[in-house]
Amino acid sequence: MNDSHASDDGTLFSLAQIQHLMRVEFNRAQRYGYPIGCVMVSIDRLGYLRDLYGYSVKEVILDRVIELLKTETRSSDFLGRLPDDRLLAVVPHTGADGLKVLCERLLRGARVLEFQAGDRTLGVTLSIGFSYSQGDDTMFFDSLLEASDDALADAQAQGGDRQFHQAPGGGL
């Protein structure tokens, strides 16, 4: 596979695939002591936009945000699609500072995207939650996923268009 972003057919990795890749990469990070990040992304108000403008508009928005994610990540990062139209990036060799920069680029990139729905121009924002491990300070990869999911929920609860970090195990 030449492009780590996607599966062989160009789509994002499925839930099972991305979890497997994350487990493998997490074990490598523990073995060799390098940091690994987990970034969860949700498009703010996507369900509302789907209800208002239709499924095809929702899919166009989701596809454009996926393209943004592919553009802003490295070819060595793994991208997957989770339930509820959430997206996941597994980002090896990247600690807190690099993840914050990535999240800010994603937030800025989404703010300038425009979509047409009939005669209306729509904009979108993102909610992002991220977590990371220094490679030997987290026992299980599931704790990275849980922390990223909790941070995403915090970003959404604060109105979206922001990033939140949560350390594995619930610390900040």
Is pLDDT above 50 for 47? yes
Task: Using alpha carbons only, give the angle 129, 130, 132 rounded to the nearest 5 degrees.
Answer: 165
What's the pLDDT tens digit per position in 49-77?
999 999 999 999 999 999 999 999 999 99
Q: What is the structure's pLDDT at 2?
A: 41
C-alpha–C-alpha distance, residues 32 and 135, integer Å = 7
Mean pLDDT, range 139-162, rounded to an integer: 93
Tokens 């989701």 correspond to 62
Its sign, for the CA torsion 59, 145, 40, 133, is negative
Give the pLDDT of residue 171. Answer: 53
H or E, element range at 168: none
Residue 127 near residue 162 (C-beta atoms within 8 A): yes
Would the pTM count as exceeding 0.85?
yes
CATH, domain 15-165, list 3.30.2080.10, 3.90.1150.10, 3.90.1170.50, 3.30.70.270? 3.30.70.270
